[in-house]
Amino acid sequence: MLKIESARVIVSSPGRNFVTLKIETNEGVYGIGDATLNGRELAVASYLQDHIVPCLIGRDAHRIEDIWQFFYRGAYWRRGPVTMSAIAAVDMALWDIKAKVAGLPLYQLLGGAARDNVLVYCHANGKTVEETIEDALKHKEMGYKAIRLQAGVPGLKSTYGVPKGKEAYEPADADIPTENLWSTEKYMRSCPKLFEAGRQALGDDIHLLHDVHHRLTPIEAARLGKDLEPYRLFWLEDSVDDDNQENFRIIRRHTTTPLAIGEIFNSVWDMKTLIQEQLIDYIRSTIVHTGGITHLRQIAHFADLFNVKTGFHGATDLSPITMACALHFDMAIHNFGIQEHMPHSELMESIFKIGYTFEDGFMHPGEAPGHGVDIDEKEAAKYPYKRAYLPVNRLEQGGAMTNW
C-alpha cells in the first residue's frame, strides 16, 4: 500500500500569503496542494493541521475518491470555503502523487488532452480609459487573445482592481480592511465608454471581458448587460451578489451579454439552479476553493449538460499549485471555456517552482509527472505570515456596504 506517512502545512508570504499542504508517502513520493483562502488563510491552516492531518496519516494515498468523501461527509459539517479549501488541498496533493507514481502529467489521468493548449485571459487596468487601453495594447502585443478591462470610475477616489501606484496589483492591501466609496450611478455611466474605446482600439478579434465584483442589483446588472451588448463581450463577470441564484433570472430576461460567476462558490450546490436553468454561460469556481479536482469534475460534467463552460478563477491569491491543477483540468475537459491568468511575481516563483508555460495567448501545464509544481520549503520559511485583507466599499450616498 502507498501509505500516507506525514502531512504538513506550510504558510508562507512571499509578497502575499499562501497555504500549502505537503503529503509524504512511505515510498518517498510526495504531493503538494494549495489551501490559500485570501484573508482567512490561518483558518484553513488550522482546519488542516488540527482536524485533517491526524485523520490522513496511515491512509492509502491512491484512494482519492474515498478520502474526499471521508472528509466531506465524515466531518458532518459540510461545505463552506474553509472546509472546501482544506479538502481541495488534500485532493490536489493526492492527484499529484498518483500522477507521479504513474509517471504521467496530471491531465493524462483526467482523460488526456482534449485540446493542444489552454486559452487564457489577462487583466488590463488603469485609472482612466486611456491608461487601461494603453495597458491592454501592451498585453495584446504580448500575444494575449482575451483581455479583461477595468478602469477607475471618474469621481471616485479608488476602484477595486485598479492599482494605486506603479507596483504590481495586490487586492489584499491592508492589515485592517481599507474602506472605499462606491457609486453605482457613476460606474454605470463610465463602463460602456470604456468598452466603446476598447473595442475601437483593440479591434474585433480580441475577446473583451469585465468584472463587476458583485456590486449591482439584478435590474442594474440587466441594464449594464444591455448597454454593453454593442461591444460583444466574451463575458460579464459577477454582476450581482451570488447568494441568491434566482437573481440571474432577472438579468437573463433582459440581455444577451454572456454571464460568468462563481469565484466565491465552494460547492455544486451553490450553482445548481444557475446551471440547470441555463442562467449563466461560464462557471468560475476553481480547484482550490471548491473541493479540488474531484469535486470540480462533477461540476464540469454537470455544467456540460446545460451548455455552461468553465472559466476558472486564476488570480494571484490562488497559488501556482492551483494554477497548474487548473491548467491540467482545462486541457482534459470537454466544456472548457477560458482560464484567467494573472502571473505570479518572480519572488513567488522562486518558492513555487512551476512547469507551466505561456506562449502567444495560450498556456500549457507541461509534461512533468504530477501537476508539475514543487515548493522550496527552505525559501518559503523566510517569509512569515502577514495579515492582509481585501478592501470593502460603502455606497457614496451613505448606508449599505457592497463588495469591495
Residues labelled as active-site residues: 160, 213
Applying CB under 6 A, which of residues 34, 220, 263, 330 lies at the interface with ligand EZ4? 263
- Distance separating alpha carbons of residues 329 and 108, to the nearest angstrom: 10
CB of 334 to ligand EZ4, least distance (A): 24
Q: Are 289 and 81 in contact (CB under 8 A)?
A: yes
Q: Where in 310-329 is the site for ligand EZ4 (CB under 6 A)?
A: 313, 315, 317
Find the residue with minimal CB distance to ligand EZ4: 315
Closest to Co ion by CB, 213 vs 344, is 213
User: Amino acid letter at 349?
Assistant: E
Query: How many Cα neighbours within 13 Å face the side chain of 362?
Result: 10
55 is an interface residue for ligand EZ4 by CB under 6 A: no
Beta strands, E only, 214-310:
235-237, 259-261, 282-283, 309-310
* Residue where the block lists cell 446588472: 221
Choice from 211, 227, 330, 374 touching Co ion (CB under 5 A): 211
Closest distance to ligand EZ4 from the beta carbon of 198 (Å): 17
41 lies in the binding site for ligand EZ4 (CB under 6 A): no
Residue 85 contacts residue 36 (beta carbons within 8 Å)? yes
How many residues belong to the site for ligand EZ4 (CB under 6 A)?
Answer: 8
**Could you tell me which residues come within 8 angstroms of residue 117 by beta carbon, excluding any fewer than 6 positions away?**
331, 359, 362, 363, 364
Pick out residues in 158-177 that bind ligand EZ4 (CB under 6 A): 171
Question: Can you read off the three cell numbers belonging to residue 359?
Answer: 506562449
φ, ψ dihedrals at 309, nearest 5° = -100, 165
How many whole angstroms from its chain centre is CA 310? 11
Site string for Co ion, 260-299 (x = CB under 5 A): ---x------------------------------------
Q: Is 374 in the site for Co ion (CB under 5 A)?
A: no
Nearer CB in complex with ligand EZ4: 33/311: 311
Give the Cβ contact number of residue 312 at 10 Å.
30
Shortest separation between residue 340's beta carbon and ligand EZ4, angstroms: 6
Nearer to Co ion, 107 or 282 (CB): 282
Residue 114, C-alpha cell as written in the block: 482534449
Nearby residues of 398 by Cβ (< 8 Å), 6 or more positions away: none
Smallest gap from Cβ 170 to Co ion, in A, equals 15
Which of Co ion, ligand EZ4, none lies near 171, with the C-beta cut-off 5 to 8 A by kind? ligand EZ4
Positions in the binding site for Co ion (CB under 5 A) = 211, 263
